[in-house]
A and B are shown apart, each in its own frame.
Chain A
């Protein structure tokens, strides 16, 4: 009965971004998989409803086979990214192209500042976000775990903020949970941890902090068994969310017996 109640809670506990409702709080990237078949299977198993894609030139020399041939487009909301863009202008140009493909007005806006860290260039990010919001995009920006930047992005009209947990692809986990907590206490749009997750426990920690969702790619695609990791991440995000909603016990330094002291023998 309890399990049923929980399941009901989970389906009623919708994530709303840009006016759209989602049941899954795990968002998954589609890069770095061994094959399109593996990508499709991992997406399926992850239960993700929002999946990221990159915008790139059509390769005129090679096979016309495309990722989208393997994906049921009715099942997913595509979130095109601006990966590889280092200026607001390039990012805006990429977003306009992404929308013209005609499948989504959602964009994962990232404007990078440095090749080694792939940390965001917040100045360019804010510039791009302002233009894109004015053009009617649903903007989900990848940003630093900095509450000031997140608040500015919210004020500009972004549909969510996506602070990094750690550098992209690093698998270092949530390096500064206190910053994430401060962001959560000060913005009202959904906070989605984007980048840095390495294992299922990292995803659960993000959700237990109260994040609205987690976005990851390498943690699944780079795992030895991406399909199994996709399932682990799905369960971790669900478990973390339920744990957050359930309300954890306070941390105490000393023990507190679970069994009654009354009725001891002897």
Chain B
């Protein structure tokens, strides 16, 4: 299936959760926040939150800023 990840279309396997997506990307869950179709996904829901075709995912973290 295809999802929109941080503005880019990407292909993922079926039955992909937020947790598996983060693992595939090599991103530590500790220092990020995830939005699914403009709603926050609480960290406690990463394992059970399944992604669907066409979902829009945002993964953000802290960068230098003023």
Interface residues of A (CB under 8 A from B): 29-33, 36, 39, 52-58, 60, 64, 66-68, 78, 80-81, 83, 93, 96-103, 168-169, 216-218
Complex Cα distance, B61 from A21, in Å, reads 26
List of B residues within 8 angstroms of A101 by Cβ: 31-33, 60-62
On whether A64 and B27 interact (CB within 8 A), knowing A97-B40, A101-B32, the answer reads yes
Count residues on chain B whose CB falls below 8 Å from chain A CBs: 26
List of A residues within 8 angstroms of B59 by Cβ: 57-58
List of B residues within 8 angstroms of A169 by Cβ: 66
Nearest-neighbor residue (CB-CB) of B26 within chain A: A64
Other-chain residue from A30, A33, A58, A78 in contact with B60 (beta carbon distance below 8 A): A58
Contact A217 B66 (CB under 8 A): yes
A-B contact pairs, 22 of them (CB 8 A): A29-B64, A29-B66, A30-B64, A30-B65, A31-B64, A31-B65, A33-B64, A53-B64, A53-B65, A54-B62, A54-B65, A56-B63, A57-B60, A58-B6, A67-B62, A83-B65, A96-B40, A100-B34, A100-B42, A102-B43, A103-B62, A169-B66
Contact B33 A81 (CB under 8 A): no
Q: Indicate whether B5 reaches chain A with its CB closer than 8 angstroms.
A: yes
Contact B61 A56 (CB under 8 A): yes
Q: How far is the CB of A34 from chain B (nearest CB, A)?
A: 11
List of A residues within 8 angstroms of B38 by Cβ: 93
Nearest-neighbor residue (CB-CB) of A142 within chain B: B66
Q: Indicate whether B7 reaches chain A with its CB closer than 8 angstroms.
A: yes
Complex Cα distance, B25 from A99, in Å, reads 22
Q: How far is the CB of B11 from chain A (nearest CB, A)?
A: 13
Known A57-B59, A66-B63; further 5 A-B contacts with Cβ < 8 A: A53-B62, A56-B62, A58-B6, A67-B63, A97-B58
On whether A97 and B35 interact (CB within 8 A), knowing A32-B64, A32-B66, A56-B60, the answer reads yes
Complex Cα distance, B61 from A103, in Å, reads 11
List of B residues within 8 angstroms of A93 by Cβ: 35, 38
List of B residues within 8 angstroms of A39 by Cβ: 64
Q: How far is the CB of A89 from chain B (nearest CB, A)?
A: 10
B residues 16-63 touching A (CB-CB < 8 Å): 25-27, 30-35, 38, 40, 42-43, 58-63
On whether A83 and B66 interact (CB within 8 A), knowing A93-B38, A100-B40, A101-B31, the answer reads yes
